[in-house]
């Protein structure tokens, strides 16, 4: 790897990103990493320190979707301006990993929660906020992202039976590491040290009030994130983080903090679904018929496991629900793509017609 500054290495630069940068490695272009984004205005870190960046006209014009635009965690190609305090972003380097979801609401569009993440800490609190079905949904997206998934069971000081709750988490976590912690009581935190290494990026994901900001403040050694108390009535918290941002920790490593997400819709996560529900996929492979729908067909290994109670009914129903959601989304995506293609050809046909009329005139 061509030698880059120690500062870039601390930000996570390595041979993978260098390979993507080689074709841009000419005078005037530099790599930078996005640390904050709002309305297509960016803050990023480069060899020159923190820079304010905006998209080049070509990048904005050539981007077919939000997926093509920079997201927090992305490495980008920049051209410094104005004494290096500002820069133009010309391209996004290939992503090693990407954690995505469908945008909230009815729009059929992808949202990149974070890019180039090494480890995803899925934080869920040990109070009435705990929801195994929501955790399964997060795990599907985490497996699909390409990053290493880890579950953090926070605020165990609020739980009367931590062992029982940890068993529930283990039952849906598919074998990923599970770490019960309490920042307030100082319990279990040393187990997380292994993920916060120099040059490595950790993302904290979870609902509002689960303790993400408190955990970041612990590892930062300072109150870099605001913390608000959760409501005692339902154990839920208000959003303390309003934008995704990448924070460089003084002890090494980077952490991506994200706003709490009440709604988390999946996006093209078939591989993640298979990995998160591996035991069901393994059972299905033993069914007599390859296209078994697990609805009473003879020789169905899944129905047999359900009847024997070796497979939890709620977990199987969650698996089927997520399957239906992904199929429904795929159909919607197909319809949107068809409409976009139809609109494109109508526009081209109209332009050709107008051009022909101008020639005759």
Write out the two tokens for 100: 């995505």
CATH 3.40.50.300 fits 101-257, yes or no: yes
pLDDT at 114: 92
Q: Which runs of consecutive H residues, i.e. helices, occur in the chain?
A: 6-10, 15-21, 57-62, 132-145, 162-172, 212-220, 270-276, 278-284, 301-307, 313-360
Please work out, in degrees rounded to the nearest 5, the angle formed at the alpha carbon of residue 37 by the alpha carbons of 77 and 83: 50
- The per-residue b/e assignment along 268-292, b for 16 or more CB within 10 angstroms, e otherwise, is ebeebbbbbbebbeebbeebeeeeb
Q: Are 208 and 237 in contact (CB under 8 A)?
A: yes
Residue 45 to residue 126: CA distance in whole angstroms: 36
pLDDT at 244: 82
97 burial (CB, 10 Å; 0-12 / 13-18 / 19+) is buried
Residue 111 to residue 90: CA distance in whole angstroms: 20
The list of the chain residues with pLDDT below 50 reads: 1-2, 230-239, 336, 340, 344
Residue 300 to residue 293: CA distance in whole angstroms: 9
Write out the two tokens for 49: 């320190």
pLDDT at 5: 78
- The structural domains of the chain, with segments of one domain joined by +, span 6-92, 101-257, 270-335
At 131-152, the pLDDT tens digits run 898 898 889 888 889 999 999 9
pLDDT at 25: 77
**CATH among 3.40.50.720, 2.40.420.20, 2.40.50.140, 3.30.420.40 for 6-92:** 2.40.50.140
**6-92 and 270-335 share one CATH topology?**
no
Whole-number Cα distances in Å, 145 to 98, 115, 148, 212, 264: 5, 9, 9, 20, 14
Plot region of 245 (φ>0 → left; ψ -120 to 50 → alpha; else → beta): beta
Domain 270-335: give its CATH code: 1.10.40.50
User: For tokens 């992503």, what's the residue?
Assistant: 95
Write out the two tokens for 272: 């993640």
- Helix, strand, coil shares, percent, the chain, to 5: 40, 20, 40
């Amino acid at each position: 790897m061509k030698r880059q500054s120690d500062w870039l290495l601390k930000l996570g630069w390595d041979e993978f990103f260098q390979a993507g940068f080689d074709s841009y490695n000419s005078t005037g272009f530099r790599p930078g990493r996005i640390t904050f984004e709002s309305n297509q205005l960016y803050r990023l870190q480069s060899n020159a320190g923190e820079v304010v960046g905006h998209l080049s006209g070509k990048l904005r014009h050539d981007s077919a979707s939000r997926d093509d635009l920079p997201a927090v965690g992305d490495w980008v190609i920049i051209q410094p301006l104005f004494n290096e305090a500002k820069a133009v972003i010309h391209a996004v380097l290939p992503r090693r990993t990407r954690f995505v979801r469908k945008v909230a609401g009815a729009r059929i569009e992808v949202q990149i929660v974070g890019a180039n993440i090494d480890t995803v800490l899925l934080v869920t609190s040990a109070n009435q906020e705990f929801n195994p079905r929501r955790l399964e949904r997060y795990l599907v997206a985490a497996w699909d992202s390409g990053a290493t998934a880890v579950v953090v069971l926070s605020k165990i000081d609020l739980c009367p039976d931590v062992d029982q709750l940890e068993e529930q988490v283990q039952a849906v976590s598919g074998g990923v590491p599970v770490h019960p912690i309490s920042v307030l009581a100082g319990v279990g935190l040393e187990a997380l040290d292994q993920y916060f290494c120099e040059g490595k990026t950790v993302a904290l994901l979870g609902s509002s009030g689960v303790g993400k900001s408190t955990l970041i403040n612990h590892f930062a050694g300072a109150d870099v994130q605001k913390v608000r108390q959760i409501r005692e009535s339902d154990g839920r918290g208000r959003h303390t983080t309003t934008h995704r941002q990448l924070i460089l920790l003084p002890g090494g490593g980077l952490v991506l903090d994200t706003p709490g997400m009440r709604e988390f819709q999946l996006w093209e996560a078939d591989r993640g679904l298979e990995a998160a529900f591996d035991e069901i996929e393994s059972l299905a492979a033993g069914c007599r018929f390859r296209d078994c729908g697990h609805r009473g067909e003879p020789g169905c290994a899944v129905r047999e496991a359900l009847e024997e109670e070796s497979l939890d009914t709620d977990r199987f129903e969650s698996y089927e629900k997520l399957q239906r959601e992904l199929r429904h989304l795929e159909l919607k995506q197909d319809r949107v793509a068809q409409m976009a293609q139809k609109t494109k050809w109508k526009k081209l046909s109209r332009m050709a017609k107008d051009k022909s009329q101008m020639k005759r005139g």
